[in-house]
Amino acid sequence: MTGTPPLLSVRGLTKRFGGVTAVDHLDLDVPRGSIVGLMGPNGAGKTTVLNMVSGFLRADSGTVTFDGTDITAKPTYEVGRLGIARTYQNLRMFTGLSVLDHVLAGLHTHRRSTAFGAAFFLPSERAERRRSEDQARALLARVGLTGDPTVRADALPYGEQRRVELARALATDPTLLLLDEPTAGMNTVESRHLGDLLVELRDDGLTLMLIEHNIDLVLRYCEQAAVMDFGKLLISGPPDECVADQSVREAYLGRAHAHTDEHLGTLREDRSGS
């Protein structure tokens, strides 16, 4: 990987909300074909970074470069078209929509059908629809969802809804996948299955950046970690080195407890009081 430019490169990225500097001159690289774990205590600025990279939020300053293209000011749909997909911390299932339809919605951007063809249900449209459904079913199988795809997505257990979201994101055929707490609400076994799936996706050529609080998963599945605190990058590098770093321990545990290991199973320290 050395010598290859990173797939995603963030430089001096800054976002303020009123008096809060959510992201503060952040520099971050995501190497091609890697899984990068973005960590940090609650409120550190991680989701705001994902929001800026994916075009949901406009940066106050700094740049985001994706595959050699400056995407800093690009809107979400254009960022998506260039090959970045994301999932959300809070699930966004459409009420009443089936599992299959969620994935078809992701595939939609790649379908070549026309409004005219769809309206008159031309044979080519029927064939296209069948192809899309086959593709959607294959994607669902890929993420480990083998049940009836015609059931309502919002009726599925939480962990399975996360998988639907992943299938929807994969349906857009991304180069870079951004995942905001993909294992939230999953037990250890489900989390590890998801981690194994992420490695398979990486092996298939995808690059992934995930916000993850579970240190076990970051150590197990990520080649690189980046830890934020108060909007700034504390450290980036091999996950074991990041976790062992004193500043990281202090950020999570508070200075007084930085010498203890007791909370490092899941690094999640809520400083917001919420």
Which residues touch 24 (CB under 8 Å, ≥6 apart)? 14, 45, 230, 231, 232
Q: At what angle do helices 123-142 and 99-107 cross, to 10 degrees?
A: 110
Tokens of 31: 């190497």
Q: Is 46 in the site for ligand ATP (CB under 6 A)?
A: yes
Taking alpha carbons only, the member of 241, 81, 266 closest to residue 186 is: 266
Quick check: 83 binds ligand ATP (CB under 6 A)?
Answer: no
The residue count of the chain comes to 274
**Cα separation of 136 and 142, whole Å?**
10
Distance, in Å, from the CA atom of 249 to the CA atom of 117, rounded to the nearest integer, reads: 58
Dist. CA 123–CA 71, nearest whole Å: 39
How many residues lie near ligand ATP (CB under 6 A)?
Answer: 12
Per rule CB under 6 A, is residue 43 in the interface with ligand ATP?
Answer: yes
Positions in 14-33 near ligand ATP (CB under 6 A): 17, 20, 22
Confirm if 42 and 70 have CB atoms less than 8 A apart.
Answer: no
Smaller CB distance to ligand ATP: residue 15 or 249? Answer: 15
Please tell me whether residue 251 binds ligand ATP under the rule CB under 6 A: no
Annotate each residue in 156-185 with x if it binds ligand ATP (CB under 6 A) or - if it does not, as one string: ------------------------------
Residue 44 binds ligand ATP, judged by CB under 6 A: yes
Task: Determine, following the binding rule CB under 6 A, whether residue 47 of this chain makes contact with ligand ATP.
Answer: yes
Kindly indicate which of the ranges 2-10, 39-47, 137-145, 182-190 contains the residues binding ligand ATP, using the contact rule CB under 6 A: 39-47
* 87 binding ligand ATP? (CB under 6 A): no
Residues of the shown chain interacting with ligand ATP in the complex, contacts defined by CB under 6 A? 17, 20, 22, 40, 42-48, 89
